[in-house]
Amino acid sequence: MPIAFFVLAAVTLAGAICAMSLRNLVHCGLCLALTFAGLAAIYLQLSAEFVGLAQILVYVGAVAVLIVFTILLTKNAEVNISPVSRSWVVGLVVAIIVCASLIVPLMKSPSLQRAPGMTPNASVRLIGEKLMTQYVIPLEAIALVLTAALLGAVVIAMRDEPENKVGRGVPTAPRAGSGEGIESSSASPRRAEDSTPYHDAGVAAANRPVGPSSTT
């Protein structure tokens, strides 16, 4: 059995390393998806079927796609700038220190030398029961959080209208939000040239025609 774990771990780690170190951002996003998939497999191996599938649904299906969309929305095609920040060595060293500080105690810890119990019954029915009885409050809370995140993401990513062309409050064409968590997003690709930075509002308005999502 460890062999399965090693293979999966190797794949996941490779995916993680690639996600972190590749230059092309889209490749990073795709490797991230691979990492998530590998993690899902490990969850399945650990008899947490629901979690594994939820991982695939949410992470691979939504988060990774979201990341790819964002990569596409922000123009990151410049290749002549360095992909790492200026003092990347320090960051690396810090990460190594953290890693060491995590792993070294792990090695010595006696509480990790335990055998697994029986295969637990992690059926969906039980999970549902638990959600509705024991964990109902966190359930409601997370519903609120998700609602807030939905609204917040829409508001934050909403484009600001310049004031001299269109009055306030005039609803423009419905814009597609940057996507929410659970529902799939249908964000229209948007060219970066169309977006008007806030601080250029006045100037840009004079220079180019303001076309609110004319491409939609």
Partner 1 sequence: MTPLLYYIAFSALLFSIGLAGALTRRNAILVLIGIELMLNAANLNFIAFWRYSANANELTGIMFVIFSIGIAAAEAAVGLAIVIAIYRHYRTSQLNNVDNLKG
Partner 2 sequence: MLWIVENLWLIPALPLVAAGLIALMKQSQRKPAAALAIGSLAFSFLLSCCAFAPTLQSSEGLFRKFHNFPWFDFGTTSLQLGWVLDPLTAVMLLMVTFVGTLIFIYSVGYMAHDENFTRFFCFLSLFAAAMLGIIIANSLLLLFISWELVGLASYLLIGFWYHKPSAAAAAKKAFIVTRIGDMGFLLGMLWLYSQTGTLLFYTNDGTGCLEHSALTKLVTAGTVGGMAISTAIALLIFCGAVGKSGQVPLHVWLPDAMEGPTPVSALIHAATMVAAGVFLVARVYPLMDADANGVTGASTALSVVTWVGAITAVFAALIAVAQTDIKRILAYSTVSQLGFMMMGLGVGGVAVGMFHLLTHAFFKALLFLGAGSVIHGCHDEQDICRMGGLRKFMPVTFATYAIGMMALCGVPIFFSGFWSKDEILHAAHGWTVSQIPFYLGVFGAFLTAFYMTRQMVHVFFGNSRVEFGTVTASEKRTHEHGGADTKQHRKVEFSSDVHESPRIMTVPLVVLAIGSIALGFFGTPAWPWLHSYLTGHELHANFGKLFEWGTLSMMLISTVVVAAGIGAGWFLYARKLTCDANEPDPLDRAQPALFRLLRKKFFVDELYNATVVRLNALFAAASDWFDRFIWNGLVQIASLITLGFSHLSRFIDQYIVNLGFDGGCDSLRSGARGFSRLQNGQVQSYLRVIGIGLAVLVLALLWGCRS
Query: What residues from 77 to 96 belong to the interface with partner 2 (CB under 8 A)?
Result: 85, 87, 90-91, 94-95
Choice between 91 and 138, CB closer to partner 2: 91
Closer to partner 1 at the Cβ: 169 or 197? 197
Q: Which helix (H) or strand (E) holds 140?
A: helix 136-157
Of 49, 75, 105, 188, the one binding partner 2 (CB under 8 A) is 105
Which C-beta is closer to partner 1: that of 91 or that of 202? 91
Per the CB < 8 A criterion, the answer to whether 171 and 161 are in contact is no
Q: How far apart are CA 103 and CA 123, in angstroms?
A: 33
Cα–Cα nearest to 178, from 189, 187, 169, 190:
187
User: 10 Å Cβ neighbour count for 82?
Assistant: 8
For partner 1, the closer of residues 108 and 168 by Cβ is 108
Which amino acid makes up residue 76? N
Q: Give the C-alpha separation, 148 to 46, whole Å.
A: 33
Contact between 10 and partner 2 by CB under 8 A: the answer reads no
Comparison of 90 and 126: residue with beta carbon closer to partner 2: 90
* Alpha carbon 87 to chain centroid, angstroms: 25
Nearer to partner 1, 89 or 170 (CB): 89
Q: Is 20 in the site for partner 2 (CB under 8 A)?
A: no
**Sites for partner 2 among residues 21-80 (CB under 8 A):** none
Q: How many residues bind partner 2 (CB under 8 A)?
A: 12
Q: Is 106 in the site for partner 2 (CB under 8 A)?
A: no
Could you write out the DSSP letters of every residue in 17-39? HHHHH-SSHHHHHHHHHHHHHHH
Nearest approach, Cβ of residue 169 and partner 1 (Å)? 20
Instruction: Write down the least CB distance from residue 86 to partner 2, Å.
Output: 9
Q: Which residues of 39-72 are buried (b: 16+ CB within 10 A; e: fewer)?
A: bbbbbbeeebeebbeebbeebbebbbbbbbbbbb
Q: Which residues of the chain form contacts with partner 2 (CB under 8 A)?
A: 85, 87, 90-91, 94-95, 97-98, 100-102, 105
